[in-house]
């Protein structure tokens, strides 16, 4: 081997040695960085998952609170509606008492001329032929009675709620009003109406016959004229015996 060849071999060996040393050095320096980067990536992924879990729990908590709030608001609204309904019922009752008081006070100035009672079927408010006949007999005295009024008291049996029976008794009285107004031209200001519901039974509500007697409208032709000598008629009842249906 010549000197030149030896020199070249030495140079190559040195280069290889230096190259290997450089790669090892680089590897030694970069490996910790790569490991650290991977560790940071793992931590970031874990933090992201934890954040999503916390957010999901927070949203669930918010939804639960909103649901409870809505439920409380609904209950409060329902309570408010119940209170308003109770107040309306109380006001309606007070109005009925006021109307009844004023009407009774005014009727003290009148005396009866003729009176009758017309009966109705269960939960009915229409007039039967017998009821119309009784009203025709009473209306025959209207033309000869000066300063007259007609007082109506509508009643029901005890079946059903108080409010429904007040309304039913009013409908029954209205049927009498419509009949007298249409057939005998009795003006509205001449008629006093009291819807008593089931508050003033004439018979017991414990029997079928008693309940039938309580489904009625009492009709009175009255006058405030002192000089009127017309004698009060004996109260008459429609010939209908205990109507159960119409």
Task: Provide the residue-wise pLDDT of the chain in tens; the chain has 246 residues.
Answer: 566 665 666 555 555 555 555 556 556 666 766 676 677 667 777 767 767 776 677 677 777 767 777 776 777 677 667 666 656 655 654 555 454 445 555 666 788 889 999 999 998 889 999 999 999 999 999 989 998 999 888 888 889 888 898 888 889 989 999 999 999 999 888 888 877 677 777 888 888 888 888 888 999 999 987 654 444 444 444 445 445 434
Report the distance separating Cα 177 and Cα 53, nearest Å: 75
Confidence at residue 106, expressed as pLDDT on a 0 to 100 scale: 61
Instruction: Identify the three-state secondary structure at position 216.
Output: strand
Lateral strand order in the sheet of 191-197? 191-197, 148-155, 216-223, 111-119, 236-237
Ranges of each domain in the chain: 1-108, 111-237
According to the model, what pLDDT value does residue 10 have? 57
Tell the residue number behind the tokens 């008081």, with chain if given.
101
Residue identified by tokens 């229409």 is 126
How far apart, in whole angstroms, are the C-alpha atoms of residue 114 and residue 137? 9
Closest to 176 in 3D by CA, of 231, 228, 118, 121: 118
CATH number attached to the domain at 111-237: 3.30.1330.60
pLDDT at 105: 52
Supply the DSSP symbol for 206. Answer: T
CA distances from residue 17 to 10, 21, 160, 161 in whole angstroms, order as listed:
10, 6, 113, 111
Q: Which two tokens stand for residue 1?
A: 């081997």
pLDDT given at position 31: 72
Question: What was the pLDDT predicted at 26?
Answer: 55
Q: What is the DSSP string of 107-162?
A: HTT-EEEEEEEEE--TT--SPPHHHHHHHHHHHTTTTT-TTEEEEEEEE--S-S-H
């Amino acid at each position: 081997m010549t000197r030149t060849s030896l020199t070249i071999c030495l140079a190559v060996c040195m280069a290889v040695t230096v190259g290997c040393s450089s790669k090892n050095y680089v590897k030694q320096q970069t490996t910790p960085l790569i490991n650290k980067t991977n560790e940071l990536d793992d931590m970031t992924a874990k933090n992201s998952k934890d954040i999503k879990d916390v957010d999901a729990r927070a949203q669930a908590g918010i939804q639960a609170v909103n649901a409870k709030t809505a439920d409380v608001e609904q209950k409060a609204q329902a309570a408010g509606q119940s209170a308003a309904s109770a107040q309306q019922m109380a006001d309606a009752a007070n109005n009925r008492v006021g109307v009844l008081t004023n009407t009774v006070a005014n009727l003290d100035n009148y005396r009866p001329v003729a009176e009758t009672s017309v009966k109705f079927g269960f939960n009915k408010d229409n007039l039967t032929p017998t009821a119309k006949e009784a009203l025709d007999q009473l209306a025959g005295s209207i033309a000869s009675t000066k300063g007259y009024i007609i007082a109506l008291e509508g009643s029901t049996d005890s079946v059903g709620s108080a409010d429904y029976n007040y309304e039913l008794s009013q409908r029954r009285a209205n049927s009498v009003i419509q009949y007298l107004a249409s057939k005998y031209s009795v003006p509205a200001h001449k008629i006093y109406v009291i819807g008593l519901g089931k508050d003033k039974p004439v018979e017991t509500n414990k029997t079928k016959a008693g309940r039938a007697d309580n489904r009625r409208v009492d009709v009175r032709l009255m006058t405030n004229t002192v000089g009127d000598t017309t004698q009060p008629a004996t109260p008459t009842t429609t010939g209908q015996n205990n109507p159960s249906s119409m």
